Amino acid sequence: MDKKKKIAIVVYTLKSGGLERVVSNQTFLFDALGFEIDLFVLENEIDFPFKGNLRCYDFNFSDGFLVKIKKYFKLNNDIQAGNFDFILDHRYRLNDLIESFWINKIYKNQHVFYFIHSSDVSSYLNSRLANNSKIKFISVSKGIENEVKRIYPKIEIQTIYNNVEVPKIEKEFKEIKENYIMSAGRMDESNVKQFDLLIDCYSKSILPSQNIKLLILGSGIRLKSLKEQVSKLNLQDLVIFKGFEINLYSYYKHAKYFVLSSKFEGLGMVLIESLLCKTPVISFDCDFGPNEIIQDKMNGLLVENQNTEKLIEAMNLFIENEELYTACKSNTLISIEQFSKENISKKWLSTFNDTH
């Protein structure tokens, strides 16, 4: 029997968030393809399920210099001893000195793929990295790939879409029997998801008058201010915060539609997840990803970027135009075949074969 090929996946955390969900799904994909997986989690925070051997290192900001050095050398020894066929790196890359250590020491003589997950390219890439022939780059959307090539014309980069899975669970979601729309994401200080904007648009739409609720899933530092906003608008009975949930299947399945109101995205996995559950979607045409997923008035509504009036119109349209809504709902699954597990698997296997 052929020996299993080994993959190391490196990420800061498996805590709540879109990137972390990507990594979780990726471990299941490669496990199904027959790879042996070692998951290197640098900050020892685990929410999502995973496949493979877990290695945690508990790096944190309070570590002194010597403590960090010891942890880095342990990480280095573990990766070198692992004799991996491929390494997939999902970290942010902001410090040239640290990145030099990763490339020349930790990843010495390894086949490494660096992921770029966001339109904020500078968080993942600089000119020194872009010109390093040892690294292969993977973008999670065509939009990101094009932006990277615009900044670094000579870089070698390809797009491999995220493997998206929404596990079906037997327990049906019954807490809210009324009609509702939904959104989901991290409520961090940067406010990328712009739930405050979404709540404002919801309040100005026809949905409250029709007792169609807004369900928001996620957690973070901005949750308190969002609840205060809802109270000021007197929408406490209509805007419902459910906190962080690992499995959103039932929420997607029973929603009228999903709304993405982000400043920017890497791909917009929640849109694909919603469509996988046969629920149409609405999104700003932000950088990058939504326009690679949504075919306007075919499986959802793609709204002029950051145009709140147009977003309100779209939210109303899916309620007022039942024929359009039903047509979009019927097209959900067929519209996302390019994101299927089968297609993503073929892309990875081809990429790995080309690397060796």
d(CA 308, CA 182): 17
> Is residue 175 situated within a structural domain?
no
Specify whether 327 is located in the same domain as 346: no
Parallel/antiparallel/unpaired status of strands 157-159 and 180-184: unpaired
Q: How many separate domains does the chain show?
A: 2
Specify whether 158 is located in the same domain as 221: no
Specify whether 220 is located in the same domain as 103: no
Helix (H, G, I), strand (E, B) or coil at 275: helix
Can you give the pLDDT at residue 123?
92
Low-confidence spans in the chain with pLDDT less than 50: 1
Specify whether 234 is located in the same domain as 142: no
> Is residue 109 situated within a structural domain?
yes
> Is residue 271 situated within a structural domain?
yes
Range of the domain at 346: 6-163+340-355
d(CA 289, CA 261): 13
Specify whether 297 is located in the same domain as 346: no
> What is the distance of C-alpha 256 from the center of its chain?
22
Specify whether 46 is located in the same domain as 132: yes
Can you give the pLDDT at residue 172?
62
Specify whether 153 is located in the same domain as 10: yes
User: pLDDT digits over 176-188, tens only?
Assistant: 667 999 999 999 9
Nearest alpha-carbon partner for 202 in 261, 274, 272: 261
Can you give the pLDDT at residue 344?
96
Q: Is the dihedral of CA 285, 288, 294, 295 positive or negative?
A: positive
Specify whether 121 is located in the same domain as 100: yes
Nearest alpha-carbon partner for 239 in 210, 202, 274: 202
> Is residue 171 situated within a structural domain?
no
What 3 state SS string does 130-175 have?
HCCCCEEEEECCHHHHHHHHHHCCCCCEEECCCCCCCCCCCCCCCC
Specify whether 277 is located in the same domain as 265: yes
Specify whether 141 is located in the same domain as 191: no
Specify whether 346 is located in the same domain as 327: no
CATH code (residue 348): 3.40.50.2000
Sequence-ordered list of residues with C-beta below 8 angstroms from that of 235, at least 6 positions apart, any chain: 199, 202, 203, 208, 214
> Is residue 1 situated within a structural domain?
no
Can you give the pLDDT at residue 1?
39
User: pLDDT digits over 128-162, tens only?
Assistant: 899 888 899 999 999 999 999 999 999 999 999 99
- pTM equals 0.92
Confirm if 311 and 331 have CB atoms less than 8 A apart: no
Q: In this structure, what token pair is assigned to residue 273?
A: 């997840």
Can you give the pLDDT at residue 74?
93
Parallel/antiparallel/unpaired status of strands 180-184 and 86-89: unpaired
Q: In this structure, what token pair is assigned to residue 3?
A: 């020996």
Q: In this structure, what token pair is assigned to residue 61?
A: 């900001």
Specify whether 149 is located in the same domain as 216: no
